[in-house]
Amino acid sequence: MRSLILVLMVLLLNDTWAQAEVPKSPNVLFIAIDDLRDWVGYLGQNPQAKTPHIDRLAKMGLALTRSYCAAPVCNPSRCALMSGLRPSSSGVYDNNNDWRELVAEDLTLTSTFRKAGYFVCGAGKIYHERYTRPSEWDDYLPTPRSNPKPKGNDGVGGIRFAPLDCTDDELDDWHITNYAIEQLGKQHEKPFFLACGLHKPHMAWNVPRKYYDMHPLESIRLPPYMKNDLDDVPTSGIAMAKPDGDHKNIVESGRWKEAIQGYLAAGSYTDMNVGRLLDALNKSEYKDNTIIVFWSDHGWHLGEKDYWRKFALWENTTRAPLLWVVPGLTKPGTVSDRTVDFMTIFPTLTDLCGIPTPKHVEGNSIRALLADPKGQWNEPAITTFRFKNHSVRTEGWRYIRYANGDEELYDETADPNEWKNLAQHAEYTQKKSELGKLLPKEDTPEGGRVTGKKKKRNN
């Protein structure tokens, strides 16, 4: 009898949750992190990561374990997410492409929310900071650019890391977070869209020394690594990895573990600021009617495949955290292993907030997944790096096709480190053909213009 009562109670609770509604015109807290790969505690990818506040956020709602960027470069990744247009549609492929010349102001996520009656404000790095368009915002705090510099050796070549003898509030990200905290403490007549863009762990990995101390050098472990990993990678992939550059310099310097320590320290500094922001929201009058979406623009390599940085199409460069907390919809502590890319963020936000999704947006809402994390979702994650170089990621596979026709294929279930390229094995011809059909159907030349007309979807 007691078992029957428990079953009925669970069914009742599930039914009640299914019928719960998202608040009308909810606020949005839009948290963007720079260069944060899957080294966060809740993903379990690297047990050395210390991110208790990001983990706390994950427990508040839904964590997606297979989430991928539209481009492994800051400018095109952010432009794609904010415009709803993939790089292959907009022509924004790299950091030197001025997205403002290619994407009309009325197409963007911020403009869409403003037209719907939202107060749109933000601080820090949302778009690439080389190109700003203040007219999209009702209020925006420019980055102060006041970070202190380290004394002495600041890393190896272009890989920059060193502790700082300073306090938390001497870094820009502290003040960016303060802006968001202040907005959460204000009375708002309209629903708000509040964007908080934190820079760390973008290089340089210069943060207060106490964050380095959280990751003692003697405890640092290197990431999964296989010698000769690049032997079966085609020339296009090797050209992206540049193994004779950063990686060679790091190995010869003997400072690989120090660099890992720097990245982990920078991630822990950002985690601290995320905690401050969550505390402020929890104390505010908006805690029960604010959607939180947390994302990073792309991942990062720290020696895997003899590679450092982000400009490539493998798992470690394309995978990044994605968290959702939606009052009335997401359940605390839920997880979804469905594969999504960040083109879903724009349409999901408009869907949740009762705003019509603009016709040009390339991506579909994952509202159904937020309610049912194990529900059906058959769309792949597509990542593009420069003109005609694409990666398709499904739950089980990654297929990369480069502009010159070079290919890589990885069985992600059997080979999560992507150590065995199967593209030249005849028995996988059908799998390559199947995944190849998911590639973008159009490749706009770099710097090509868009009109706002709806592009053909890839699903």
Q: Choose the catalytic residue: 128, 199, 247, 298.
A: 128
Quick check: is 79 catalytic?
A: no
Give the per-residue pLDDT at 153.
Answer: 82
The reply to whether the predicted model has a pTM over 0.85 is: yes
Quick check: is 215 catalytic?
A: no
User: Could you tell me the two tokens for 378?
Assistant: 């058959």
Please name the CATH architecture into which domain 24-436 falls. 3-Layer(aba) Sandwich (3.40)
Q: Walk along the chain (459 residues) and give the pLDDT tens digit of each residue.
A: 444 444 344 344 444 434 458 889 999 999 999 999 999 999 999 999 999 999 999 999 999 999 999 999 999 999 999 999 999 999 999 999 999 999 999 999 999 999 999 999 999 999 999 899 999 999 999 888 889 999 888 999 999 999 999 999 999 999 999 999 999 999 999 999 999 999 999 999 999 999 999 999 999 999 999 999 999 999 999 999 999 999 999 999 999 999 999 999 999 999 999 999 999 999 999 999 999 999 999 999 999 999 999 999 999 999 999 999 999 999 999 999 999 999 999 999 999 999 999 999 999 999 999 999 999 999 999 999 999 999 999 999 999 999 999 999 999 999 999 999 999 999 999 999 999 999 999 999 988 754 444 343 333
Give the per-residue pLDDT at 21.
Answer: 83
Give the per-residue pLDDT at 449.
Answer: 54
Give the per-residue pLDDT at 20.
Answer: 55
| Ranges of each domain in the chain | 24-436
Q: Choose the catalytic residue: 74, 79, 196, 353.
A: 74
